[in-house]
Structure 1
């Protein structure tokens, strides 16, 4: 698997132009010219033929009649079908051609006013795209006259790419249009994805074949104005946003969901989802009861199954926003044919940044075939502050994370399940899931069924007359700490945990009302672990292991109050353009210095070219799924973001993503030289590590302020004295197969600090954690996906040099290149212990 996160601006990104041509940010261009033929001076392969430029392959409309067309990032596949979707140059004159020429035949003489171009958009290969381009025209295909020169923007390598419009300063009469690539974005050859030509000028509009969709037009970031917030529920959180935050309110036009507990709101909510596939949109449900009668499905979009990502369903409060299934609803009455209330995408592991927050899912009554929530997210994604309940106790599964392979890594926190045959179901060997503060009550068969997944749980409270946890697949690892399993009724004859296969680590688990705390069953017999307190127990202990885990002190992740919208500073109010090109740094710093306590980056792309200081009254920097771009080198500071002094003791930075391939700042992402507590949540790629930056250093953490991390991708390097508590970490190395040296390949480094981790998933070569210089590291649960992106694992998985540490983890490898050394212990430069796999 190639696990990557990429988000882009939903508005058209503008470029600089030279003589003869101009940009149009919005293209009200009418119908495209058809038919068109094309030839190229060279072609790489048959699947990269020039015909891919004019046949619409890889293009799709974001929603019916929206007029917004986007190109996918797969050059070889469209909507599940193997076919080429882009063109790239091949050999000419004995060498690969980087300055090719492509010629378009418009069928007859036409008046041409503009064209829309989608540059080469294959993920990881966007440098092949045209950059400086010479445009010329001809009536006969022999004599070409110059029209002008242009600079094509580099494509993002994303499935949400809207391209750009090139408008001629004066319309031309031509049958042939030629593009000559003068330079590209430093690729080894050159390519494009798609081109459409449009009529224009005083010469009139050409006849157009019927049935062709309108030209691309820029999509608005805010299609509706949220209704005034509904009243807060007494005693509940009140998650509300300002009107210019970019959220999509399902109760506002054009969706007009009622939320009155009577009307069927299925179509309204689904329409809102469908309008924003893979768009980083927050679909917002104010307090109310939303009745549904069919499955709510994450939007497929254009990718034929490669979408279902970057979508957030957000309620106003956990107790106040209720999605309820109709009683005795058709399709949900057969327990042998389970059907879910909400479905968030299947394999592969590309479901980046999916989330469901602050709401309740109620399966109603008379729906024995109901599944509450089928949730899937990859790398960064969360289920937070959610209740899943059966109206009458029946139903198949409450939280189903076993319905497809490759779920995770992701984070589930503050979730309760009441009723159902099974409370939580997890399955398959990749990619690990981390849970914290989970409540299970009233299940009829088992509280939690794990069938092979790497599961890490802290703070499970189960109250059931059935076994709380059952694991029955060899690859599973269940890490359980700080939990309480309470048996009622018939539970007195059952074990609290039944371990049929796989491994388990349990610490500080109280088990009452059961015959035993844990029952491990093997061919040789059963091992019984008595209750009521399991201080620490491990099913499989490796040679050389100490008597117990390190037991570092555990702290809860702190939070700050959710501010009233009047106390928010939205960066567009301070001049941020969020067009993917203009520098938004000054606007963001002005918002920070405005005296407001929450600073908001709306949905879209924020370009930062100057270092910033998070100071003053700011206690929350939140992106409404905004993406950050760092396109140019920065000077004047050591960090892109530096935490400044403030009367606010805690600073939360959350719901932002960046793309480490585009991080050209050359600075550390964030550091906190103050005594404030820094909390990072739902952040993507806080790193500059990739094939293009093979020695990226990760994010340096110096202290003295404490650091808390939840649901973040990126590498971290703790310096002496730093203290960090991390939950659901996903550090990935650059996967550069040419360089597997230690200085280039590592996931986390603790150099004299204190590091506690609940759940990790790593990918790529190099050590999982290096601890040295007196550092102390404790890792509780997770997955080493050692075959992902790694040619070989030349380095040990864990290195301890004059330091202390303990780790509970499993490894999954499909390439016969697993870690050759699991643990390397050094004292004063000498190897004291080396653990090899059995």
Structure 2
């Protein structure tokens, strides 16, 4: 796992780059000290060279307007310090960072904030460097050799000025570290500004942020009866014996009337049912809070679910104490922090209002690992102020997770993601009225589909990372007519993106529509089209949420959770009862022989409970088997065992939907349609698909060996995350696999296997790899076509630890 940094607290970017007229020198942020327009580096580890030029991690000194200090948290603003990739230091110039000033300037010096990560990691600071200058990026001359002090590792790091003996005419500067303070083999910098003797009005400088401008009227909510169905809304209600925690019942007693303070009641429920697979339920109502709602100790296996997205409202007080300072941000909901053990967290079917007059507020710090989702949620700032609506960068190890059908209104950023692991999948995201950008991705692996944005600022801002974006509608308003809808750098793949009201859809590219584009030319091993497979995409089939009075439970047939008895007969009787929804109340259910999902049952609801073999040991038979029945069968909110027993097998053409399930592995051999939504396998057991069609969103296969075997199926994946040794996906017998975004987290090495194997089949992928040592995948794709084998290897310069697009349009079924 990634080494966790210091505790992560999102720091607002309290400045923006703009073009003021020249002014008197005031220190690092004066008009004579400009920001480069671009940066590249010899290598970057869990960072991006853009981080040294974009103002991330800087905050303004309130006593000295226009002067900025750097924070000690490397993950602030989604990542705010560049680190090398371990290239040797020295005058040979193997390690370097290059900046582009955008024009030829008379360079007089630099202001440098050295690598400032706290906890001793500031030892990565550069100790000495050579400075090279160029006007054309081809011919370089020496501009001096300079020492730097080690950064303080504190939040008030002022940086230091470096002066040249005489001004040098240059557009490009290259900093070549020759020594560092030696924490490990990496060196880095936090931020760079360049002093010039000839400032121009168009130069980019750090400046105080302009005053806040309201963009919409204050949101208000009509009174509502507690727990009554909301007109036109879903009605997510539960049986009384399901083990679901109703916060309005004793001993919690939340009122939900919009007047009483419900903070303590909800937090008590979260604290007392922590880490236990609990659903904490909020019936329709208005829940007034004064402080952060926090997950209990352990920060996992907890779900906060409302009765309906429109009917259940959590509302922070206006001008709430402690939410006034953007330098010390506070969240309305916080689901946990590092390390990456925040399994099974969920927020769903509610609205979160962060109130008015709370500029230091962020909406939801959602952290989940392996399996977890925030869905059918609206996050709104009462007056438009606040840092992030949905903060996915609140931990250095966040994801994989799913964001589905979420609306964010207001805030500086609608969604902010940071840190390179472990990937986020977003589908059905609506953003409007943000102040700085709709969505900001700093180094994370994002897989997005169905993004709708209406903003006066850029819809998407990228800084490093791997981003795949499909089916996006980006509407610009007002000043957006001079801006691109998507801007920044990194590895990206775009498809079916349209913009209106912007100058262009993508920075540096003319036009408002993008049929298909990638940041680098697609890689192919044959003379194939350099396009993705474009497999047909199907949405999840609707399975109605029925009134809980009609549900059936094994409790009615003698089953009991949390004992040592075999519950399989009781569960089977509930399934065969004729009920279309069957539920397993919260707890551990032991299954001695496979339970068959057949007949009329359409939904198996686990209530966040667990299923296990009778003796707790692996066995050859699966726990659940899908047979023919009436319409699709949906299995949800179940956690399987922590060993290699297959959880689910299907040899039927009946459509199968698996959602929000942890520790589940599967064999599908019936040729029917399969939908996987927010799923991770149990250790030692993989996924196999023989024929049929599969749509997987937020898919996390982690077993050793072949993680996923596609044997003649059509497999479409939006967002993948993997760990453990072995081939990630093997596609054979005329199968087709389309992988749209994700991360190969090679934390345990590759085991010498190729990352992907394709044999007489079709395959396309956008993907990044993160590996902290030298055990990365040496072969990315091994393809065999008609008996001839070719390989795409890691030493190919087209790789670079990420694929904008790989495609092979080989054998068809």
TM over 0.5, shorter chain: yes
Q: Distance in 2 between matches of 1:576 and 1:510?
A: 54
Q: Which residue of 2 aligns with 1:540?
A: 520
Structure 1, unaligned runs of 5 or more: 4-227, 301-306, 520-527, 688-698, 735-744
Once structures 1 and 2 are overlaid, which stretch shifts more, 569-578 or 324-333?
Answer: 569-578
Q: CA RMSD in A?
A: 2.0
Distance 1:614 1:229, change over 3 A: farther
Q: Distance in 2 between matches of 1:516 and 1:636?
A: 57
Q: Which residue of 2 aligns with 1:773?
A: 733
Distance apart, 1:458 and its partner CA: 0.5
Q: Distance in 2 between matches of 1:418 and 1:603?
A: 35
Is it true that 1:291 corresponds to 2:288 in the alignment? yes
Match of 1:673 among 641, 651, 654: 651
TM-score, length of structure 1 as denominator length: 0.66
Q: Which residue of 1 aligns with 2:395?
A: 404
Deviations 1:169-215 (A, max 9, x none): xxxxxxxxxxxxxxxxxxxxxxxxxxxxxxxxxxxxxxxxxxxxxxx
Is it true that 1:806 corresponds to 2:806 in the alignment? no
- Aligned pair count reads 569
Partners of 1:244 and 1:570 within 8 A in 2: no
Q: Distance in 2 between matches of 1:357 and 1:796?
A: 38
Partners of 1:701 and 1:716 within 8 A in 2: no
Distance 1:486 1:635, change over 3 A: closer
Deviations 1:656-709 (A, max 9, x none): 001232x55xxx43233333210001111223xxxxxxxxxxx22112320000
Q: Which residue of 1 aligns with 2:675?
A: 708
Is it true that 1:512 corresponds to 2:500 in the alignment? yes
SS at match of 1:492: helix
Q: Distance in 1 between matches of 2:524 and 2:603?
A: 45
Q: Which residue of 1 aligns with 2:233?
A: 236
Distance apart, 1:650 and its partner CA: 1.1
TM-score, length of structure 2 as denominator length: 0.68
Is it true that 1:491 corresponds to 2:480 in the alignment? yes
Q: Distance in 2 between matches of 1:653 and 1:608?
A: 16
Distance 1:494 1:636, change over 3 A: closer
Distance 1:834 1:402, change over 3 A: closer
Distance 1:633 1:411, change over 3 A: closer
Match of 1:416 among 387, 392, 407: 407
Distance 1:353 1:276, change over 3 A: same
Q: Distance in 1 between matches of 2:296 and 2:715?
A: 39
Partners of 1:763 and 1:784 within 8 A in 2: yes
Deviations 1:8-49 (A, max 9, x none): xxxxxxxxxxxxxxxxxxxxxxxxxxxxxxxxxxxxxxxxxx
Q: Distance in 1 between matches of 2:299 and 2:697?
A: 24
SS at match of 1:502: strand
Distance apart, 1:540 and its partner CA: 2.2
SS at match of 2:406: strand
Q: Which residue of 2 aligns with 1:640?
A: 623
Q: Distance in 1 between matches of 2:577 and 2:325?
A: 57
Partners of 1:718 and 1:752 within 8 A in 2: no
Q: Distance in 2 between matches of 1:836 and 1:446?
A: 34
Is it true that 1:824 corresponds to 2:782 in the alignment? yes
Distance 1:412 1:829, change over 3 A: same
Equivalent residues in 2 for 1:474-489 (5 A)?
Answer: 476-489=465-478
Q: Distance in 2 between matches of 1:502 and 1:535?
A: 19
Match of 1:318 among 299, 306, 309: 309
Deviations 1:504-551 (A, max 9, x none): 1101111111111111xxxxxxxx223322111110235436411010
Partners of 2:524 and 2:530 within 8 A in 1: no
Q: Which residue of 2 aligns with 1:269?
A: 266
Distance apart, 1:357 and its partner CA: 0.7
Structure 2, unaligned runs of 5 or more: 4-224, 798-813
Q: Distance in 2 between matches of 1:423 and 1:447?
A: 5
Q: Distance in 1 between matches of 2:303 and 2:518?
A: 37
Is it true that 1:558 corresponds to 2:558 in the alignment? no
Partners of 1:230 and 1:286 within 8 A in 2: yes
Q: Distance in 2 between matches of 1:604 and 1:831?
A: 50
Distance apart, 1:394 and its partner CA: 1.2
Once structures 1 and 2 are overlaid, which stretch shifts more, 707-716 or 793-802?
Answer: 707-716
Match of 2:638 among 656, 661, 669: 656
Distance 1:370 1:380, change over 3 A: same
Q: Distance in 2 between matches of 1:799 and 1:428?
A: 29
Distance apart, 1:472 and its partner CA: 1.6
Match of 2:700 among 707, 712, 730: 730
Distance apart, 1:639 and its partner CA: 4.1
Distance 1:264 1:489, change over 3 A: same
SS at match of 1:760: strand
Q: Which residue of 2 aligns with 1:201?
A: none
Distance 1:675 1:733, change over 3 A: closer
Partners of 2:283 and 2:306 within 8 A in 1: yes
Partners of 1:609 and 1:634 within 8 A in 2: no
Distance apart, 1:632 and its partner CA: 4.9
Deviations 1:57-83 (A, max 9, x none): xxxxxxxxxxxxxxxxxxxxxxxxxxx
Q: Distance in 1 between matches of 2:458 and 2:777?
A: 36
Partners of 2:396 and 2:421 within 8 A in 1: yes
Deviations 1:139-182 (A, max 9, x none): xxxxxxxxxxxxxxxxxxxxxxxxxxxxxxxxxxxxxxxxxxxx
Distance apart, 1:834 and its partner CA: 3.5
Distance 1:241 1:813, change over 3 A: same
Q: Distance in 1 between matches of 2:480 and 2:238?
A: 46
Distance apart, 1:710 and its partner CA: 0.5
Q: Distance in 2 between matches of 1:493 and 1:719?
A: 48
Q: Distance in 2 between matches of 1:382 and 1:636?
A: 30
Deviations 1:207-243 (A, max 9, x none): xxxxxxxxxxxxxxxxxxxxx9821011100000010
Distance apart, 1:832 and its partner CA: 3.4
